[in-house]
A and B are shown apart, each in its own frame.
Chain A
């Protein structure tokens, strides 16, 4: 934690010289080596590191793709073909980026549900949580613009449909929505001009994400990590230093994740995409069935569940923005759902709701699916706006362990265990 004294000792003369001028080594040592992590963390806590890895993968593969990609209406589609067929290792790097986007969202959603279950959004982690919501939003904008770049039929029509969402503002101030949409397009329809600016922004946004990630980690290192018991670190036996404990666990998680990543990348590189995107963008023909990428499906289902155009747009954006307010909507006194017998059930129902909305989002907007989508949308919002405040008040939490140490070793456990031994495992 920030209150911890730094005990970094430069070992070389150069290290000492540098430490007096720019203490980067001290920063890394304090924040990534000696940083106290609760000793009861499970594998769900490895996803933060996995997400950092994902961002690095997207940045490196993206910068490489941009060396061969042509952001123009005439060339974009063919240049992607060129990347996959002619560019050395393009067959590897292009799917790494495309599959990487999906894996990035998979990790982010697991990370987010982890936070929801263990109450990681509750005081003092509100800012940390809200920064996370901003990161998800920025990721969505990035992925949306990235998806336009292959300039296939799905790319083109996804851009058309999503940018047109803003035209719903015409029903508040006539003409305003249309003006915004034409401003986004740079014309009277989606065209190569639109593609070109989306490419520019697609290059920019990941660096904005990187900035947000730095703030997110900074906030984390000020308040410290939450943990499965939802307790604070109280004594030295409650924590272990980040290196080697958390780091080695993170590496195990990363490799498991990379196995799944590699499976898709090598064997099913286009499985998560759509066949229609192998047809070049045609402004005169809409594909019979427009579906977004899987990670947007629940939100797309919410959009279509509301019968009014503006209402649907508002509901869709609110479904993410509501997350900003949950630190104050949740009235419970304990953090972790492990000790919340009633909330736990509602939580799993919420997980099922999100999966069901995702499933419905891929189906045509017909009965009976629309009715189901409405029911699940209602639960989605009720979970945050009604269940969180009420259940927190009426529920009696189960007895919490006395400390993080007791959570691991049982009641009365941990006597005699010393942080010193944990801090220097190689000397035991």
Chain B
């Protein structure tokens, strides 16, 4: 027996195959227990909302909920649109549009942050891309940060009027959710 100790024999093979089988089985049985924690079908079902924009005058803003997240809707003034257009994209900390309605690698120009023909409407998920606080700037009298858009009080991120990060720790521009105009004053988010 001892003289053959280094030679793998049939018993070693069975032990190895058996343990491998048990390990794979254990890994597979783990799957449902991990998967149960992911968003369930009722969370997925809340996929879209329709919003009437007609009461929102120029310069005003509203917040609606979509998938449990606040969505900022701002009817921007001409000056606010111009301020966003005039800033060179190359100087932005995040040059990607982050707009679910355009190509994933589109640059963060003001055009790419809005929908054509509706450039006064900035519609973005109102969650700071740093650690998830809700930036200030939707209500009248809110602090809007150094660039007239939104300001996140948690760790001091400043967003401009196109919802792009300009200063502070947030790594990305505010995300633009998938949405479309179903009529001139009605949008569908999701």
Residues of A near any B CB (own CB < 8 A): 157, 160-161, 163-165, 167, 171, 182-189, 191, 193, 197, 283-286, 288-290, 304, 307, 309, 364-366
Contact = CB atoms under 8 A, between A and B. Distances in A.
A188 B39 contact: yes
Nearest to A310: B171
A184 B132 CA distance: 14
Interface stretch (B63-71, B83-91, B181-189): B63-71
Interface string B154-180: 111000000000000101000000000
B73 interface: no
Nearest to B152: A286
Nearest to A160: B132
Given A182-B38, A286-B154, A307-B169, A189 B133 contact: no
A283 B68 contact: yes
Interface in B131-155: 131-135, 152-155
Contacts of A365: 155-156
Contact of A288 (B34, B127, B153, B169): B153
Given A161-B154, A182-B38, 19 more contacts: A157-B154, A183-B38, A185-B39, A186-B37, A186-B38, A187-B39, A187-B43, A188-B68, A193-B40, A283-B134, A284-B63, A284-B70, A284-B134, A285-B134, A286-B134, A286-B135, A309-B130, A309-B131, A366-B156
Contacts of B69: 188-189
A164 B65 CA distance: 19
A185 B69 CA distance: 13
A285 B65 CA distance: 13
Given A184-B37, A186-B38, A307-B169, A286 B153 contact: yes
Contact of B133 (A161, A163, A187, A197): A161
Nearest to B156: A365
A309 B154 CA distance: 14
Nearest to A304: B155
Contact of A157 (B65, B133, B156): B133
A183 B40 CA distance: 10
Contacts of B68: 187-189, 191, 283
A186 B39 contact: yes
A186 B131 contact: no
A160 B133 contact: yes
B39 A182 contact: yes
Contacts of A186: 37-40, 43
Contacts of B169: 307, 309
Q: Which of A167, A188, A285 has the most CB of B within 10 A?
A: A188
Contact of B171 (A182, A185, A290, A309): A309
6 contacts: A157-B154, A184-B37, A186-B38, A189-B127, A193-B43, A284-B63
Nearest to B135: A286
A141 to B, nearest CB: 16
B133 A290 contact: yes
A160 B131 CA distance: 7
B190 to A, nearest CB: 11
A364 B70 CA distance: 25
B67 A189 contact: yes
Contacts of B127: 189
A167 B68 CA distance: 18
A165 B154 CA distance: 14
Contacts of A188: 39, 43, 67-69
Contacts of B154: 157, 161, 286, 290
